[in-house]
Structure 1
Amino acid sequence: MNMLWQPSGSGYQHTWPDMKFGWRIMVGTVIGFLGAAFGTVGGVGGGGIFVPMLSLIIGFDAKSATAISKCMITGGAGATVFYNLKQKHPTLVDLPLIDYDLALLFQPVLVLGISIGVAFNVVFSDWMITVLLIVIFIGKSFFTYKSQ
């Protein structure tokens, strides 16, 4: 039985670009840095910037770009949490900045969503992942703009 993630002739083949230092790496680094900065400040992670940058500028396929984007988001989130561990609440000085009760409330749902997303990333084809990413990004942008 051949699965998509197993190395075989009929399975999925990742597209890894040549990682030579050049304009693509420089532009990708600048966009990645700015995407991480604005994504962290805005609290959205930056995946809407990382995936297109990794696909269109660096040259990764959609599945690899999504996986690398998740790693980049995790690194930014880890750095943000590490920074905020010792911060105090701005008005209630005796409370920490991080609301641990709220984090415990939404963390299981977040892990479930990530698990479903990883399963879809393995099962779906490249074009379907690209279409779904575009639809989700446009929908999120529309609802964000409408709530302003």
Structure 2
Amino acid sequence: MTTNVLILCTHNSARSVLSEGMLNHWARKLGKDVHAYSAGSAPSGRINPFALDVLNEAGVDTSYVRSKSWDEFVAPGAPEMHVVITVCDSAAAEQCPYWPGKPVKVHWGYPDPSNAPEAERRKAFELTRQAIGYRMLQMLNLPLETMAPSDLRAALEGIVRS
């Protein structure tokens, strides 16, 4: 059974897209039955070009990414989520929709690389991609398909502290 992971950030233009790309990339490379999606509460409708650049330069397929609303994932026929991760503090503080299936919810905050000074912005995106990629690798090392929700939540929260 595929483990579906939804990664949320308010505008779904940078951190959540980096997370979606990195999780799908590593899951494919490692042969894990995990699929990542990303969405936002107020999607911008565009992906930050720096996010696309650093993903592409790391060999990550971005052909499928787009900025979308989290409403798509509560609509009839949407894939059932097993894990929902917020990656920005504002999304973590928002009232999220009801997620069918009662997924495990955790917060993995990252500073917004879009707010870095212009001369350092590309580097900020690359460092954020690397940090996200490392956490995604740690998550993929967990026995996701067999963990009880409370154990999964504790393990995912532990990744932030490590």
State the TM-score, normalizing by the size of structure 1: 0.32
Query: In terms of Rg, which structure is larger?
Result: 1
**Which structure's residues are more often helix, by fraction?**
1
Larger strand proportion, structure 1 or 2?
2
Q: Which structure is richer in relative contact order (CA contacts within 8 A, separation 6 or more)?
A: 2
Output the TM-score relative to the length of structure 2.
0.30
